[in-house]
Amino acid sequence: MGLVTAARSVLSISNLLIELGYYGNDRIPFQICGDNINALNAANNLGAIRSIKHLELRWRWLQQETAANRIKLEYISGQEHPADGLTKSLTKLKHEQFVKLLGFRT
């Protein structure tokens, strides 16, 4: 459900930007990266809905937003995922890699 939450958040920000008068080309589609291949495939593939028995409305909404090109979902490996540095405890080596991913110097 993390993908759905992220998508709802970025579209809320997009709506806020519109209300503030910003209509730049960089506003849509938002790119959301995730490391769960099955979730990304289900969200990107409208045909996958038949194979998921317990699909919730939130997933259907995410599929529609992806199909409408308001959100772009992409895979990123867990090793390269910068968000992991904010949500998991890191070894010294992983911390150094995380700092480099953020563009900071060690």
What is the per-residue pLDDT across 6-36, written as a single tens digit (0 to 9) for each?
899 989 988 898 899 988 777 678 888 888 8
Q: Please give the chain's pLDDT, 106 residues, in tens.
A: 688 888 999 899 888 988 999 887 776 788 888 888 878 877 777 555 555 555 677 778 888 888 888 888 888 887 777 777 888 888 898 888 888 888 887 5
Cis peptide before 82 (omega within 30 of 0): no
Tell me the two tokens of residue 96. 């150094």
Residue with tokens 């849509």, as numbered in its chain: 28
